[in-house]
């Protein structure tokens, strides 16, 4: 331990700590001798002090170094530090008499000093450290109260107690009171801070104390608690702050668990933390080569960050967007230099490029997140490209997995694949069906994961609303009754990983998306979070766009799900996939899809995805386009099963 310590640089703080201990050790020894003999013998034999004190101090200091007493911070002194002091002093108490005897300096030393010295040494060394911590936590707090911002704490539990202790070290904030709905706590103190009233008293207490901020510190808080706190703070004209959660720490938005931040949209939409099988994921991913397509996108990049937590042998980033690849590569080089990565520019539609990449890197796990997912863009003039990217690209990645013996292929799907009314959703559903068929026929270890909208992802409404608010509005929404399911990007990525771990092949996992959120309520929350009102930023309704639904669904008509060991994952009940004739015809059609018009693409999708019911823009609930009835019936009859069966899950 001594060598390891000496190998580190001696900072000024370390030298001060050592000087304190040396001074304490020397003083206790000398004062003990002087008091024992009432100055007489010490005055008559000055060598007694001069010969023994340096020897005692050197032995004791060696023990202090050996037990690493100077590797910690006095500011965070704890019971562990006291234990180390006791161990070091105890060893020194055994070595000091031995050294004195061996060097023939023990004569004249009272035996009581060998007992008294270590006791006093423990008291003053531990007391000095604990006293310094107390001073750092309380004296600056008292001196700097008037410089910090007054703060109210919502909740009077264990979390609030720790928060008060942490705020004691900060000059930026000081708590002026605690609020809790438990009447038994009102009038009591929490680490010296009074519990002033209930949450509903926030407006009056904020005005009385001058607090312009409140922090949510309730134990076991969920999104309903956060929304209530936000509403109370808004009514009281107080800014709500929150402690970061696991997602924030993982994503890098904050660096410590006590760094305060303003409440954000994620906090209000209501998603409880994801419980991951970290041991299982570590065993599954650690040391393996993992390839992620669409690695530069919002979901793909978050998947890469989450995978990096489990120490893959190599992480292959695959994307056709050069700038997106540059950004994620630079981020990994800066934040995760410990994870070996390979940045590959390529298109999932390019079978030759895929074969070369798979041959070089031999990925054992593949996560396929590359997709065109913007519904209106894919609906008009780009339908053929949606088919090529979302279906042909998926099929070629799957075939590369088969050719190179990939252990598992995880396909990121969408709730828009359920009873699809748009090209994007229909292409995702067709990709699911092809993967299920490859699983049945070729034993492709494919796992599919469906989820809804992701907060802040590329093409979502959140960045659009932020941009519209920044320029003063208006916020444009297609319909006042429009609803969507939402989850955070980290949560989506974590559940994709969990589903990939749990799936054995052929399953479609459906994520628990919670309650649907009205888009107009989302817009209103964003306006309020920006400190504005609807009088300042107007909301206007523009009518449904091509292919849009008012409500998204997680299951098609007649589909059911079965529970899994994970509370946020359900697996769709398996149904036999279409027969080989269906696959042959579908792949023949895909081979010529690049040359098809939008009308021909929709007609083909209706033929091979009987659940696809295209609707004209702005006419929700209107009769279906005259593309599908005959082909759907023809497909059902040709393969000897019902229309629902041919489009069902397998």
Tell me the pLDDT band of 374, cut-offs 50, 70 and 90. confident
Residue 340 shares a structural domain with residue 247:
no
Domain boundary among 238, 263, 288: 263
Residue 437 lies in a domain: yes
| CA–CA dist 539, 151 (Å, integer) | 33
Among the ranges given (14-28, 55-69, 321-335, 454-468), the one the predictor scored with the smallest mean pLDDT: 454-468
Q: What is the pLDDT of residue 45?
A: 58
Q: Give strand pairing partners of 585.
A: none
Place of tokens 């979390």: 159
Q: How many domains does the chain divide into? A: 3
Residue 530 shares a structural domain with residue 469:
yes
Burial of residue 346, with CB atoms counted within 10 A of its CB: 0-12 exposed, 13-18 middle, 19 or more buried = middle
Residue 541 shares a structural domain with residue 595:
yes
- Catalytic hit among 288, 373, 416, 549: 416
| CA–CA dist 94, 62 (Å, integer) | 13
Residue 547 shares a structural domain with residue 412:
yes
Tell me the pLDDT band of 2, cut-offs 50, 70 and 90. very low
416 is catalytic: yes
User: Which carries the bigger pLDDT value, residue 160 or residue 632?
Assistant: 160
Residue 548 shares a structural domain with residue 471:
yes
Residue 319 has pLDDT above 90, yes or no: yes
Stretch 306-313: mean pLDDT, rounded? 92
Domain containing 207 equals 149-263
Residue 575 shares a structural domain with residue 604:
yes
Residue 458 has pLDDT above 70, yes or no: no
Among the ranges given (254-268, 396-410, 430-444), the one the predictor scored with the smallest mean pLDDT: 254-268
Q: What is the pLDDT of residues 106-119, one digit of tens each?
A: 666 778 888 888 89
Residue 256 shares a structural domain with residue 128:
no
Most confident of 59-63, 229-233, 611-615: 59-63
Residue 434 shares a structural domain with residue 531:
yes
**Which of 415, 440, 430 minimizes the C-alpha distance to 575?**
440
Residue 493 has pLDDT above 80, yes or no: yes
Tell me the pLDDT band of 304, cut-offs 50, 70 and 90. very high
Residue 271 lies in a domain: no
Residue 646 lies in a domain: no
| Contact criterion met (CB below 8 Å) for 446 and 506 | yes
Residue 237 lies in a domain: yes
Ramachandran region of residue 621, left (φ > 0), alpha (ψ -120 to 50) or beta?
A: left
What DSSP assignment string belongs to 46-67? Answer: THHHHHHHHHHHHHHHHHHHHT
Residue 452 shares a structural domain with residue 520:
yes
Residue 531 lies in a domain: yes
The CATH code of the domain that includes 158 is 3.40.50.720
Residue 566 shares a structural domain with residue 632:
yes
Place of tokens 């660096």: 255
Residue 179 shares a structural domain with residue 218:
yes
Residue 221 lies in a domain: yes
Domain boundary among 141, 158, 177: 141
| Contact criterion met (CB below 8 Å) for 6 and 71 | no
Q: What is the pLDDT of residue 645?
A: 31
Residue 349 lies in a domain: yes
In what helix (H) or strand (E) does residue 606 lie, and over which residues does it extend?
helix 598-608
Please report the sign of the dihedral spanned by the C-alpha atoms of residue 15, residue 19, residue 20, residue 25.
positive
Ramachandran region of residue 196, left (φ > 0), alpha (ψ -120 to 50) or beta?
A: alpha
| Contact criterion met (CB below 8 Å) for 211 and 205 | yes
In what helix (H) or strand (E) does residue 563 lie, and over which residues does it extend?
strand 561-563
Residue 649 lies in a domain: no
Domain boundary among 96, 113, 141: 141
Stretch 76-91: mean pLDDT, rounded? 86
Among the ranges given (246-255, 261-270, 409-418, 480-489), the one the predictor scored with the smallest mean pLDDT: 246-255
| Contact criterion met (CB below 8 Å) for 65 and 1 | yes
Residue 132 shares a structural domain with residue 6:
yes
Q: What is the pLDDT of residues 216-266, one digit of tens each?
A: 887 555 667 777 888 888 888 888 877 655 444 334 444 433 455 555 555
Place of tokens 């509370």: 567
16 half-sphere exposure, CB direction, 13 A CA radius:
8
User: Which carries the bigger pLDDT value, residue 590 or residue 570?
Assistant: 590
Share of the chain above pLDDT 70, in %: 74
């Amino acid at each position: 331990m001594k060598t390891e310590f000496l190998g580190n640089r001696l900072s000024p703080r370390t030298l001060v700590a050592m000087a304190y201990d040396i001074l304490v050790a020397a003083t206790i020894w000398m004062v003990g001798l002087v008091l024992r003999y009432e100055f007489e013998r010490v005055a008559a034999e000055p060598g007694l002090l001069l010969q023994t004190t340096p020897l005692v101090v050197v032995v004791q200091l060696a023990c202090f170094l050996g037990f690493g007493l100077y590797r910690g911070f006095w500011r965070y002194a704890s019971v562990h530090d006291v234990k180390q002091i006791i161990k070091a002093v105890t060893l020194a108490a055994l070595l000091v008499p031995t050294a004195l005897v061996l060097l023939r300096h023990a004569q004249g030393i009272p035996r009581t000093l060998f007992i008294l010295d270590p006791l006093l040494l423990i008291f003053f060394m531990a007391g000095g450290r604990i006293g310094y911590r107390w001073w750092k936590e309380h004296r600056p707090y008292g001196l700097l109260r008037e410089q910090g911002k007054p703060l109210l704490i919502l909740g009077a539990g264990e979390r609030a107690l720790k928060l008060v202790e942490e705020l004691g070290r900060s000059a930026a904030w000081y708590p002026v009171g605690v609020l809790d709905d438990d009447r038994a706590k009102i009038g009591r103190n929490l680490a010296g801070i009074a519990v002033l009233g209930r949450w509903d008293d926030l407006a009056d207490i904020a005005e009385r104390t001058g607090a312009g901020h409140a922090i949510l510190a309730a134990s076991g808080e969920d999104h309903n608690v956060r929304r209530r706190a936000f509403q109370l703070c808004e009514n009281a004209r107080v800014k709500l702050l929150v402690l970061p959660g696991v997602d924030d720490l993982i994503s890098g938005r904050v660096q410590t668990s006590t760094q305060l931040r303003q409440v954000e949209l994620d906090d209000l939409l209501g998603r409880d933390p994801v419980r991951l099988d970290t041991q299982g994921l570590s065993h599954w991913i650690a040391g393996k080569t993992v390839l992620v397509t669409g690695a530069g996108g919002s979901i793909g990049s978050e998947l890469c960050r989450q995978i990096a937590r489990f120490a893959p042998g190599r992480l292959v980033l695959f994307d056709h967007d050069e700038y997106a690849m540059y950004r994620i590569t630079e981020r990994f080089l800066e934040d995760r230099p410990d994870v070996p990565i390979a940045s590959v520019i390529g298109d999932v539609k390019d079978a030759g490029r895929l074969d070369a990449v798979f041959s070089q890197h031999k990925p054992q796990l593949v996560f396929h997140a590359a997709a065109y997912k913007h519904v209106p863009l894919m609906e008009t003039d780009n339908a053929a490209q949606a088919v090529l990217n979302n279906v042909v690209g998926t099929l070629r990645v799957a075939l590369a997995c088969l050719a190179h013996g990939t252990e598992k292929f995880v396909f990121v799907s969408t709730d828009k694949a359920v009873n699809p009314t748009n090209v994007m959703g229909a292409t995702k559903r067709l990709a699911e069906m092809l993967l299920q068929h490859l699983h049945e026929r070729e034993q492709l270890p494919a796992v599919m994961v469906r989820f809804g909208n992701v907060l802040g992802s590329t093409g979502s409404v959140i960045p659009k609303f932020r941009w519209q608010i920044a320029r003063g509005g208006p916020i444009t929404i297609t319909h006042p009754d429009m609803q969507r399911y939402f989850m955070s990007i980290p949560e989506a990525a974590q559940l994709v990983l969990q589903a990939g771990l749990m799936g054995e092949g052929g399953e479609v996992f459906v994520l628990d998306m919670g309650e649907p959120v009205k888009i107009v309520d989302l817009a209103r929350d964003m306006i309020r979070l920006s400190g504005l009102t609807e009088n300042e930023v107007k909301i206007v309704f523009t009518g449904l766009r091509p292919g849009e639904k008012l409500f998204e669904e997680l299951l098609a008509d007649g589909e059911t799900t079965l529970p899994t060991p994970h509370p946020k994952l359900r697996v769709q009940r398996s149904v036999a996939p279409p027969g080989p004739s269906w696959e042959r015809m579908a792949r023949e059609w895909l081979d010529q899809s690049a040359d098809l018009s939008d009308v021909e693409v929709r007609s083909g999708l209706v033929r091979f995805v009987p659940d696809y019911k295209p609707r004209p823009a702005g006419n929700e609930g209107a009769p279906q386009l005259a593309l599908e009835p005959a082909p759907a019936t023809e497909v059902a009859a040709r393969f000897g099963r019902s229309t629902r069966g041919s489009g069902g899950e397998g």
